[in-house]
């Protein structure tokens, strides 16, 4: 039964991949909707290592841009963009295409518990 | 260009008076929405091709993208609601004003083109916002149609602010 060995190897590879995926998904996943030319919610507070996905429900592109920190570039209609919050701090961001859209991402140190 | 701004203003002001008998119905509102967007798409396409300043070019490109997006959504909604957009005097005036604007812009080049296009965009967005607030939103009966107009309104405010910022820069 030589065929069993590659099968086992494959199984091992799958387990390795699954745990790698687990490591990346360690943080909590958050979602901010972009709807009606607004970020919903406007302010979101996450722990370091969490990921935030902005989902654009509007019929035209938007951006999620905090000067010097992060920039999604254009997120197409019905598109999304994910950012992993690695650095604690308070980030005010705008849409560079519609600068009257304002949001805030607060990243708390994961170790700091209230 | 003052004259063209006047045409845009007159066309949209007509929206307030032409429907004195109870205002436009949803089929007419849908037609006005699609026409108003199309007029700005046409001007935007011209600016994308002819503007001298990269910022004006980029603004024109964004107008094409944003207003096309709104129209795609409006067209899908109209289909879903089984409403047949109905042509009306406001749509006709908007279309005529748009065609005259494009015709006048085609005669211009360089800085003169950029200034004329942006001046018109400022006046046009001001008037569109006025019509949205005074005519389209108050008269829209269907909640989804009203919702669509309300949801895209802040984007038009952003366009107006952007156009005014460019107007200030070009004026220097």
Task: State pLDDT tens for residues A68-83.
Answer: 999 999 999 999 999 9
Residue A3 located in a structural domain: no
- The answer to whether the Cβ–Cβ distance between B151 and A97 falls below 8 Å is no
Three-state SS string over A43-59 comes to EEEEECCCEEEEEECCC
- Is the pLDDT reported for residue B5 higher than 80? no
Contacts of A36 in chain B (CB under 8 A): 150-152, 154
| Mean of pLDDT values over B131-153 | 97
How near does any CA of chain B get to the CA of A93, in Å? Answer: 16
- Is the pLDDT reported for residue B122 higher than 50? yes
Residue A2 located in a structural domain: no
Residue A12 located in a structural domain: no
Residue A22 located in a structural domain: no
The total of structural domains in chain B comes to: 1
Q: CATH no. for residue A104?
A: 2.60.40.420
Q: State the pLDDT at residue B171.
A: 85
The model carries a pTM of: 0.84
Q: Quick one: pLDDT band at residue A21, thresholds 50, 70, 90?
A: very low
Q: Which domain holds residue A40?
A: 28-108
Nearest CA in chain A to B70: A59
Q: Quick one: pLDDT band at residue A11, thresholds 50, 70, 90?
A: low
**Average model confidence (pLDDT) for chain B?**
91
- The answer to whether the Cβ–Cβ distance between A99 and B150 falls below 8 Å is no
- Is the pLDDT reported for residue B18 higher than 60? no
Contacts of B73 in chain A (CB under 8 A): 59
Inform me whether the C-beta atom of residue B76 falls under 8 Å from chain A C-beta atoms.
no
Residue A56 located in a structural domain: yes
**Which strand (E) or helix (H) includes residue B39?**
helix B26-50
Residue A19 located in a structural domain: no
- The answer to whether the Cβ–Cβ distance between A100 and B157 falls below 8 Å is yes
Q: CATH no. for residue B69?
A: 1.20.1260.10
Choose the weakest-confidence range: A8-17, A32-41, B149-158. Answer: A8-17
Give the number of other CB atoms < 10 A from CB of residue A15.
Answer: 10
* DSSP string over B85-154: ----HHHHHHHHHHHHHHHHHTT--HHHHHHHHHHHHHHHHHHHHHHIIIIIHHH--SHHHHHHHHHHHH
| Mean of pLDDT values over B19-31 | 86
Q: Which domain holds residue B27?
A: 2-170
Report d(CA A93, CA A83) in Å as an integer.
Answer: 13
Q: Quick one: pLDDT band at residue B14, thresholds 50, 70, 90?
A: low
- The answer to whether the Cβ–Cβ distance between B69 and A37 falls below 8 Å is no
Q: Quick one: pLDDT band at residue A20, thresholds 50, 70, 90?
A: very low
The total of structural domains in chain A comes to: 1
Q: Quick one: pLDDT band at residue B115, thresholds 50, 70, 90?
A: very high
**Average model confidence (pLDDT) for chain A?**
85
Q: Quick one: pLDDT band at residue B134, thresholds 50, 70, 90?
A: very high
Q: State the pLDDT at residue B157.
A: 98
- The answer to whether the Cβ–Cβ distance between A59 and B65 falls below 8 Å is no
């Amino acid at each position: 039964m030589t065929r069993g060995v590659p099968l086992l190897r494959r199984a091992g590879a799958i387990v390795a991949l699954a745990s790698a995926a687990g490591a990346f998904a360690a943080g909590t996943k958050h979602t901010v909707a972009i709807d009606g030319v607004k970020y919903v919610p406007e302010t979101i507070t996450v722990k370091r290592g969490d990921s935030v996905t902005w989902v654009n429900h509007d019929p035209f592109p938007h951006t999620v841009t905090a000067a010097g920190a992060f920039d999604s570039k254009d997120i197409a209609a019905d598109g999304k963009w994910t950012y992993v919050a690695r650095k604690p701090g308070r980030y005010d961001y705008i849409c560079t295409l519609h600068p009257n859209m304002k949001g805030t991402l607060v990243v708390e140190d994961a170790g700091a518990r209230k | 260009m003052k004259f063209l701004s006047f045409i845009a203003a007159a066309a949209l002001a007509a929206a307030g008076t032409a429907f004195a008998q109870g205002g436009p119905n949803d089929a007419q509102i849908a037609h006005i929405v699609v026409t108003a967007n199309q007029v700005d798409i046409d001007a935007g396409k011209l600016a994308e091709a002819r503007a001298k300043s990269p910022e004006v070019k980029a603004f024109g490109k964004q107008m094409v993208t944003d207003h096309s997006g709104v129209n795609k959504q409006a067209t899908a909604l109209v289909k879903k609601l089984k409403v047949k957009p109905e042509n009306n005097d406001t749509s006709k005036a908007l279309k005529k004003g748009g065609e005259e604007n494009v015709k006048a812009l085609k005669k211009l080049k360089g800085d003169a083109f950029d200034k004329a296009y942006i001046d018109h965009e400022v006046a046009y967005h001001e008037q569109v916002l006025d019509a949205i607030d005074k005519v389209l939103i108050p008269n829209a009966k269907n909640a989804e149609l009203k919702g669509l107009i309300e949801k895209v309104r802040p984007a038009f405010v952003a366009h107006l602010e952007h156009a005014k910022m460019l107007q200030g820069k070009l004026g220097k």
